[in-house]
Amino acid sequence: MKVISYDSSRLTSLFPFEEVVPLAGANDREIVESIKAKYDFLTGPDLSKSEEIAKSGYKFENGQFSFNSENFRIANLGIYRDGIVINAQKTDGSEAFLDDLIAFVREEFSFRDFITEPRRYFQSEIVVEFEHSLNDFIRSFEKIVSVISQPLKRIYAIDIPLGLARIDFDVDKTRLATTAPAAIQRFIIERRIGVAFEKERFYSAAPMRTPDHVSVLEEIEKLA
């Protein structure tokens, strides 16, 4: 399997923000300007729109962070009453950025240690090419294709080439506790639109860290 692109990822860290804000208070303007400067964000929250911030959080866009000797791009950062959301290319860089941001605001602005241990949730989106056809997942694939193709051929008077287009795994939330996170999304493997089937190029989304996502797809391919 070959990774074609790391499309995007999301890291969500949930915790009550009121537990970490300094008891003496915080200077929003100073903190916002410091975060923008440290991580080179092109835009930050407009503090003059207090009602909008109270509703939608503090949002920063197009920043960067030094990670593994490279500039890791942060698409956006959102700071909310119940936690932090980071959108970037891969989750490993996002986690390193989050750890750095937490250390920074603790050192510079006396933010407190967590009382409620944060819970981290992930969403990873990548594009890959498999070496083996995913059609092999279905034991009776050729027979199923033949059954589908016969009426299609009668209607359209041509052979219709068919291939596996999508594999989709969802969570049976009826079997989980009511406290289970809604952040657990579907695991999807979906054929890339507009690419010849023989390339075996697929888009995949998974509720996990990017490196784990890649490893899981590699293991799945071995089963085909």
pLDDT at 179: 56
Say if residues 201 and 128 touch (Cβ distance below 8 Å): yes
Say if residues 184 and 121 touch (Cβ distance below 8 Å): yes
Rounded Cα distance between 109 and 160, Å, is 64
Q: Which pairing describes strands 201-206 and 70-80: parallel, antiparallel, or unpaired?
A: unpaired
SS3 content of the chain, % helix, strand, coil (to 5): 35, 30, 35
Sheet with strand 83-88: strands edge to edge: 58-67, 70-80, 83-88, 2-14, 119-129, 201-206, 187-191, 166-169
Report residue 214 as tokens. Answer: 């890649």
Helix axes 91-109, 210-223, angle to 10 degrees: 160
**Would you list the domain boundaries of the chain?**
11-121, 125-223
Q: Over its length of 224 residues, how does the chain's per-residue pLDDT go in tens digits?
A: 999 999 999 999 999 999 999 998 889 999 999 999 999 999 999 998 888 898 889 999 999 999 988 999 999 999 999 999 999 999 999 999 999 999 999 999 999 999 999 999 999 999 999 998 988 888 888 888 999 999 998 898 998 889 989 999 998 877 776 555 666 789 999 999 999 999 999 999 999 999 999 999 999 998 87
For residue 43, give the nearest of 65, 60, 64 by alpha carbon. 60
Give me the phi and psi of 189, to 5 degrees please: -125, 115
